Amino acid sequence: MNPLEIPRSEGERLEVFGRLRRGRSLDQAYAEMAPVAKTLEARYPRTNAGVLPILEPYTQEFVTRDELVLFYTMFVAVLGVLIIACANVANLLLAQFLIEAVVLSVAEGALGIRVGYAGVSFFNDAMKSATQIPFWIRVDMNSAVWCSPWASRRSPSS
């Protein structure tokens, strides 16, 4: 049924949807609609006498309280799922970073030990070619020293 084909005053009511301009209030929109209603009342006094526009937000007119409660409940549930997902991703990233840190620490430690051995060897060769080293001077890598961080973490009972 086409609403334009209904004769005047036979319809129950006329609902018009609109969108407020940015920065406009319902009071300002009502101030613009009231003269239109007065013009219609003057033009059609039999059908439009005392008819004034009613402006209200769409959600207030068409969304019931139960639907609004359901919407907010679903919103909170989805928000909770997103928070859990973000926490899981953060946990996975943290675990990945920890694994990378351990791998890099072990690799850097091994590289440092290797550079240390090479440096001591270079130093000893340079000293031998320059002078006679006394027998009581021994420059060497001591594994007890570079393992001391692990040795100091042992419990006193073990």
Q: Do both 22 and 74 map to the same domain?
A: no
Output the pLDDT for position 70: 94
In this predicted model, what pLDDT tens digit does every residue of 33-53 receive, in sequence order?
899 989 988 998 887 888 888
**String of DSSP letters for 31-88:** HHHHHHHHHHHHH-HHHHTT-------HHHHH--HHHHHHHHHHHHHHHHHHHHHHHH
Q: What is the pLDDT of residue 129?
A: 77
Which pLDDT belongs to residue 47?
A: 78
Question: Range of 102's domain?
Answer: 64-158
> Which of 47, 62, 77 is the endpoint of a domain?
62
Which of 62, 80, 115 terminates a domain? The answer is 62
Cα(14)–Cα(82) distance, integer angstroms: 43
Q: How far apart are CA 91 and CA 78, in angstroms?
A: 20
Q: Which residues contact 47 (CB under 8 A, 6 or more apart)?
A: 8, 9
- Tell me how many domains the chain contains: 2
The predicted model scores a pTM of 0.46
108 and 82: one domain? yes
Question: Which H helix or E strand runs over 143?
Answer: helix 143-146
